[in-house]
């Protein structure tokens, strides 16, 4: 039996379903010292914003049980620097790139989408809508159906061509299925599930929040069951909507869990901080598991946990 490790996310064809997670791989340069980026299904870049950002004050990070909190604040040099430096470099590596974009206003998303047209090596757009909306009291776009829709519509109207749009959703909502339906109607070709969960750690020596920004995003294996639940619920409600799954994946077994729940591809994030080659480990392990379980393709295993299980 021949096995196919290829997968798709909308119109993007990927040789394997293992991607980096946005914000956990920079724009690829650092990780390329450890493995060729062509080994990845795709590299998902750090979220790109219109202007340069210094990010938040330190401390920005706190380790938590089986996880970590971060409040980086989207530090980066801005989209024009990214287009001039990172995109040509990634294209020269032969990497498949999914650019993550983030905005503070609906117009930001529109402007960024226009700048993403016809870029070499770019196979998709991940739209990070877990950002505060400065025009609406800092409310996070992805936490409300109307603002989530507005951001995705702005991207859809401006992107042109057939570059797939993947909306990255926050788990900090009452009904993630409702948000997924909204962004799908607004023109998203898929959803990325899940972004970090908002958390806090208090330092019991200083008796004050450990992070300068007080709150931060929780990631790592601690959040995996929340992510699996979100993927399972969205796949059950919208079986045709491609899902990029993420949240605490450190092994092929973890990635397999996401595929079974309904993800067509997965992103490895925080695990890279502990092990620079974690993405490659996950890739090799998942392939072995799929073959061992008798699947002939990734496609066959997607959502397999939803079948009627006969006792």
Partner 1 sequence: MQAELVSNKRVGAYHHMSFSVGDLASQALPGNFVAIAVGGEASSMILRRAFAIYRSTEKGPQGGLIELIVAPHGQGSRWLTNLPVNSTVDMVAPLGTHFGIPTEPVRALLVGGGYGSAPLFGLAELLKSRGCRVDMVLGASTANKIYAPLEGKRAVSSLTITTDDGSMGVQGQITDVLPEIITDKEIEIIYSCGPMGMLQAITQVSEQFGVMHQCAVEEAMACGIGVCMTCVLPVTGEDGVTRMLRSCIDGPVMDGSKVIWDSKRKIPEGTFGA
For 72, the token pair is: 């980086």
Select the residue interacting with partner 1 from 57, 178, 236, 288 (CB under 8 A): 57
For 81, the token pair is: 């620097």
Identify the active-site residue in 131, 176, 192, 266. Answer: 131
H helices present in the chain, as ranges: 79-81, 87-93, 106-115, 145-159, 176-185, 224-237, 252-261, 271-274, 278-292, 298-301
The alpha carbon torsion through 248, 251, 257, 262 (nearest 10 deg) reads 80
* Subset of 245-284 contacting partner 1 (CB under 8 A): 250, 270-276
Nearest approach in angstroms of CB 61 to partner 1 is: 4
Q: Is 143 a catalytic residue?
A: no
Select the residue interacting with partner 1 from 68, 159, 176, 290 (CB under 8 A): 68
The answer to whether residue 154 forms part of the interface with partner 1 (CB under 8 A) is no
Sheet (strand 197-200) strand order: 61-64, 67-70, 215-219, 197-200
**Cα(5)–Cα(295) distance, rounded to whole angstroms?**
10
Count of residues that bind partner 1 according to CB under 8 A? 42
From residue 100 to residue 139, the character string flagging contacts with partner 1 as x (rule: CB under 8 A) and all else as - is ----------------------------------------
The answer to whether residue 59 forms part of the interface with partner 1 (CB under 8 A) is yes
Q: Residue 195: which residues within 8 A CB-CB, separation 6 or more?
A: 128, 130, 142, 168, 169, 170, 171, 217
The answer to whether residue 85 forms part of the interface with partner 1 (CB under 8 A) is no
Nearest approach in angstroms of CB 301 to partner 1 is: 26
Q: Which residues are catalytic?
A: 131
Give the footprint of partner 1 on this chain (CB under 8 A).
Answer: 23-26, 30-31, 33-34, 51-63, 65-68, 70, 72, 75-78, 212, 220-221, 250, 270-276
């Amino acid at each position: 039996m021949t096995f196919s490790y290829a997968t798709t996310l909308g119109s993007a064809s990927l040789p394997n379903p293992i991607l980096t997670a946005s914000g956990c791989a920079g724009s690829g340069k650092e990780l390329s010292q450890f493995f060729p980026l062509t080994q990845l299904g795709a590299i998902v870049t750090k979220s790109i914003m219109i202007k340069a950002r210094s990010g938040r004050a330190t401390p920005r990070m706190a380790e938590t049980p089986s996880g970590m909190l971060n409040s980086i604040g989207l530090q980066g040099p801005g989209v024009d620097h990214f287009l001039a430096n990172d995109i040509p470099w990634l294209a020269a590596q032969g990497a498949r790139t999914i650019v993550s974009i983030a905005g503070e206003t609906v117009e930001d998303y529109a402007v960024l989408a226009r700048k993403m047209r016809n870029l070499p090596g770019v196979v998709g757009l991940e739209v990070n809508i877990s950002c505060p909306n400065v025009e609406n009291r800092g409310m996070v776009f992805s936490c409300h159906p109307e603002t989530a829709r507005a951001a995705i519509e702005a991207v859809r109207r401006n992107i042109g061509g057939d570059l797939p749009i993947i909306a990255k959703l926050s788990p900090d909502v009452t009904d993630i299925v409702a948000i997924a339906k909204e962004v799908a109607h607004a023109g998203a070709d898929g959803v990325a599930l899940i972004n970090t969960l908002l958390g806090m750690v208090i330092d019991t020596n200083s008796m004050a929040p450990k992070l300068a920004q007080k709150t931060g995003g929780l990631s790592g294996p601690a959040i995996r069951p929340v992510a699996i639940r979100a993927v399972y619920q969205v796949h059950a409600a919208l079986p045709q909507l491609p899902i990029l799954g993420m949240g605490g994946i450190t092994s092929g077994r973890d990635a397999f869990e996401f595929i079974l729940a309904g993800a067509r591809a997965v992103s490895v994030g925080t695990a890279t901080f502990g092990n620079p080659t974690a993405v490659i480990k996950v890739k090799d392990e998942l392939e072995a598991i799929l073959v061992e379980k008798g699947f002939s393709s990734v496609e066959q295993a997607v959502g397999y946990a939803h079948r009627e299980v006969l006792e």
